[in-house]
Chain A
Amino acid sequence: MSENNEVRFDPMTGQPVQGGQTDDQRQTEGQNAFDPLAGPQKSNKKNTKILIGVIIGVIAVIVIAFVICIASGVFLSKNAKVIKAAANTFEPNELIKDLDASSQLEGGNYTVAVEMEGESYGEDFELKASYQQNTAKKKHAVNGKFVYSGTSVDFHEYMDEEELLVSIPKLYPDTFGYYFNEEKDGYLAELLGDDFFEAFDDLCTTSMNDMASSTKMAAEYTKILKDNYNALEFETVEKEVFKVDGKDRKCKGYTTTLTEENVGACLDELSEVYSEYNKNTVNDVKTMFEAVGLEDDELAELDNNIFDTLKEEIEDMPDLDVTFYIYKNRLAAVCVTGTDETGDMKLDIEFRGGTTPTQNTIITYTLNGDGGSIKILGKTEDSVEKTKIVEVYEGEKTTLMDINYDYKNKELEVKAEDGGFTATIDNSEKGLVIDFKDIADESIDLTVTLKKGSNIKKPEQDVFNIGTASEQDFYDLFYDVEDFTKELQ
């Protein structure tokens, strides 16, 4: 089972040390030599950190591009030239335009419905479910029906600022009710304590208010990204030739440096906003988990958010030079280079154009001399957008995915290594309807509908009040549910 090019481990740290050489070769190759006394020479972890830094940098630029271009005005600075070019580059193709659901989601009053039919283990199944939200009225509902082998089960959930109602009539005829502003003096309060329920009530009411405040939080994120981007210093570099729309073009270059400090500072600010908007939720969750016996170190982990995790990931990241090459107000390429003690890395993203600037995009990467590329190759024939995604690694080409979209007939076909699907897309004033057929080559059909507006109704049955029910009520409930379950079988 052994191979000569396998990873060895540094006996001082346990870190993997790459190498396809024999021990003798390693010992004679200076920097690449594996010397147990000298500690780690190369580290995959470091490479990961470089890549994460690169990805954060590139994503940040793309996000900022979309945001700032809207309020563009007059662009004068190098920063603004790059942003304007990026905004012009990420122009949606017909498929993305037809999948755009922003008009349906606008205002926070919408319905998402899913219908699925198919066969599993020789039995037919059917699932219908919908989620409705009305942000202004601070309420939402989930309704569904699942049918398997002739047995059908309905479920309903409703929540507003005052109550949470859940109903599964096949299991129990009453609706389970929980009232946030009501005193909890039943069996569960005895078991879990007042702190638990105070926190849970607060969490539920906060979550309804969060539906409205998430837009405000997104605006603060945008401002932070914009300010941090504007603080970057760009310099002009020599022109380089890149292929744009099939021709070699000399492109102007602007470069900036991403450092652990400037990326970290941005992540700190984002983390602060996240914590500010979510502090009540985090405190409530902590109180609830504390009540059920979670330990201090586990509770402390709840304070970490995605931005803190990202900051840990970029620790010791090397400085990354990011150069944007621009041709006629759009990006022709983004080139990222960095070096640390483990070696050099390089990432080039070339936007070679086509019907849209990104229709043909080539991503090439090298890490310590080892590398590969991902190619997005597209063309438009009549009304069909054809996209092929190909990975090239060690000279071997693998087609990861073929996507064909006929934008006149609204027909989508996706072929991937492990299966694929066909779908039709209907995006009109009534809503967005995506009809999938034969998912993953199985006989499973799925329809997803997203439409503006909602019709949220409360379950109307009698209520089993969870907050006030006594121990005996719960025993009765348990036996009743058991009886109903037997009937189901």
Chain B
Amino acid sequence: MVKAEHISKKLGKKEILKDVSVFAAPGECVGIIGANGCGKSTFLSILAGIEKPDAGEIWFFKKEPLKNRRIFSDMCGYVPQGNPLMEDLSVRDNLSLWSRNGKAKRNEIISRFQLEEMLSMPVKKLSGGMKRRVSIACAAADDVPILIMDEPTAALDIFHKENIHDFIRDFTGRNGIVVMATHDSAEIEMCDRIYFMEEGCTEEIADKQNILEKIKKGRNKHE
């Protein structure tokens, strides 16, 4: 399971996260929603071990990655909002760079994400959707049980969106855990658990129907 409790983070004088708590059980897809700029990306980068929180605790199953940061890389893959790939390198080289697994495992990932035809292409020549697929493949290449994704299908066409949604369903079907930030209603529908983030705090939402209303309210407040 993934458990984050009472996470807080200041950037300069601004308190981005005040008290964020999130839980995800094995096989669950957990969505974090909220208005732009509410701190979703900061929280996810903390959960992935990229940034350090000012306070709070994180557990991946029985392990505490904040006490041994290697647990982050051993147990979780991260798909940031931007493109993390090396643009001048080929898809194959990016996979080799990001994955600690051997060739056989990489071939499995290549086939799972249907990357065969683009393997030798430099990343800079790929479309946005293709890059996203490669980013997720890189994050998943080490057979990590936890995937943290920041708006995984933002700006993708319906075909590529569905492709990534299939992967998320398959991954959680194998007891993998997905924690993602999203604005996408199809993704919200897929989630087993949803947290609404506002003013640096999270609240778990039991009723999915209220979600759009919550987002609307949050957006108005922001404006």
Contacts and interface: CB of A to CB of B under 8 A. Distances in A.
B219 interface: no
Contacts of A1: 112-114, 163, 166-167, 170
A15 B145 CA distance: 7
A239 B59 CA distance: 53
Nearest to B136: A1
B60 to A, nearest CB: 6
Contacts of A16: 143, 145
Contacts of B60: 14
Interface string B162-180: 0100110010011111000
* Interface core residue of A2, A14, A394 (most chain B CB under 10 Å): A14
A6 B145 contact: no
A444 B146 CA distance: 43
A7 B145 CA distance: 10
B35 to A, nearest CB: 31
Interface in A1-34: 1-3, 6-16
A9 B112 CA distance: 17
A9 B177 CA distance: 9
B62 interface: yes
A72 interface: no
A163 to B, nearest CB: 38
Interface in B55-72: 60-62, 67
A393 interface: yes
Given A2-B170, A3-B108, A15-B145, A10 B175 contact: yes
B176 to A, nearest CB: 5
Q: How large is the interface on A (under 10, 10 to 19, 20 to 34, 35 or more residues)?
A: 20 to 34
A178 B101 CA distance: 45
A44 interface: yes
Interface of B: 25-27, 60-62, 67, 75, 103-104, 108, 111-114, 143, 145-146, 163, 166-167, 170, 173-177
A9 B104 contact: no
Interface of A: 1-3, 6-16, 36, 44, 297, 372, 391, 393-394
A14 B26 contact: yes
B104 A11 contact: no
A64 to B, nearest CB: 28
A146 B218 CA distance: 55
B174 A9 contact: yes
Contacts of A3: 108, 111-112
Contacts of A297: 67
Given A7-B143, A14-B177, A16-B145, 4 more contacts: A1-B112, A2-B112, A2-B170, A16-B143
Contacts of A13: 61-62
A394 B107 CA distance: 12
A44 B105 CA distance: 12
Contact of A8 (B103, B114, B175): B175
Contacts of A394: 104
B166 A9 contact: no
A393 B75 CA distance: 27
A297 B69 CA distance: 10
B149 to A, nearest CB: 15
B145 A9 contact: yes
A394 B105 CA distance: 12
A9 B175 contact: yes
Contacts of B75: 14
Contacts of B146: 14
Given A3-B108, A393-B104, A394-B104, A14 B145 contact: yes
24 contacts: A1-B114, A1-B163, A1-B166, A1-B167, A1-B170, A2-B166, A2-B167, A2-B170, A2-B173, A6-B108, A7-B143, A7-B174, A8-B174, A9-B176, A11-B25, A11-B26, A12-B61, A13-B62, A14-B146, A16-B145, A36-B175, A44-B143, A391-B103, A393-B104
A66 B156 CA distance: 58
A14 B166 contact: no
Contacts of B177: 9, 14
A9 B26 contact: yes
Nearest to B168: A1
A171 B221 CA distance: 52
Contacts of A7: 143, 174
A452 B167 CA distance: 59
A205 B173 CA distance: 59
A16 B60 CA distance: 14
Nearest 5 CB-CB pairings of A with B = A11-B26, A14-B145, A9-B145, A2-B170, A9-B175
A297 B67 CA distance: 8
A11 B175 contact: yes
Contacts of A6: 108, 112, 170, 174
A395 B189 CA distance: 44
Interface-central residue, A10, A11, A15, A297, by most chain B CB under 10 Å: A11
Contacts of A15: 145
B86 to A, nearest CB: 15
A95 to B, nearest CB: 26
Nearest to A394: B104
Contacts of A8: 174-175
A16 B143 CA distance: 7
Nearest to A15: B145
Contacts of B62: 13
A3 B112 CA distance: 7
A372 B102 CA distance: 12
B173 to A, nearest CB: 8
B91 to A, nearest CB: 13
A263 B215 CA distance: 58
Nearest to B71: A14
Contacts of B113: 1
A8 B170 CA distance: 10
A7 B170 CA distance: 11
Nearest to B102: A393
Contacts of A14: 26, 60-61, 75, 145-146, 177
Contacts of A393: 103-104
A439 to B, nearest CB: 16
A52 B75 CA distance: 20
A425 to B, nearest CB: 29
A417 B111 CA distance: 20
A457 B2 CA distance: 59
B5 to A, nearest CB: 18
Contacts of B26: 9, 11-12, 14
